[in-house]
Amino acid sequence: MNANPYRAVVVTVSDRSSAGLREDRSGPAAVEGLRAGGFDCADPVVVPDGADSVESALRAALAEGARLIVTTGGTGVGPRDVTPEGTARVVTREIPGIAEELRRIGASEKPGGMLSRGLAGAVDAAPGVTAGALVVNLPGSTAAVGSGIPVILSVARHVIDQLGGGDHT
């Protein structure tokens, strides 16, 4: 297991990408942005839409020591867009300001940005979770990822440090 306290995992949530019917572009874009921001981040994990698959992917990433998990996709209003519901099963405490800022930026770029139902929240250390982590849902477009990763990077290290008992800086 990697001891880097700034280890990230990206989870792409897409029926079509998981079935090999569409190339995943948002996941690799998120990975690239996180790596550029100094996070240790493997290639994205791709799972089908569904609250159960999202929950399972998040729990697996936490068990492997991820301190930041970014999901892409499944945040809209379509019948299979249930990434927030799967995420809500895992986070201990929501951090609504992050999701609000992501929606504000998204809506300023495109009116549909206000339709994202993405969550952001903290997962406290517990059995099966080696250390606290930040989880953030992003929409599945590369534009939303490009706008969202800088927002996440602006607070991620601070949140991770706080979850580990660090002092306010």
State the CATH number of the domain containing residue 70.
3.40.980.10
* Domain that includes residue 11, residue range: 7-163
11 sits in which H/E element: strand 7-13
CA 116-135-34 angle, to 5 degrees, is 95
* Mean pLDDT confidence for 1-21: 87
| Residue 169 belongs to a domain | no
CA 150-151-152 angle, to 5 degrees, is 90
Q: How confident is the model at residue 86 (pLDDT cuts 50, 70, 90)?
A: very high
| Residue 168 belongs to a domain | no
Domain count, the chain: 1
Question: pLDDT tens across 18-70, in order?
Answer: 999 999 999 999 999 999 999 999 999 999 999 999 999 999 999 999 999 99
**Predicted local distance difference test score (pLDDT) of residue 2:** 46
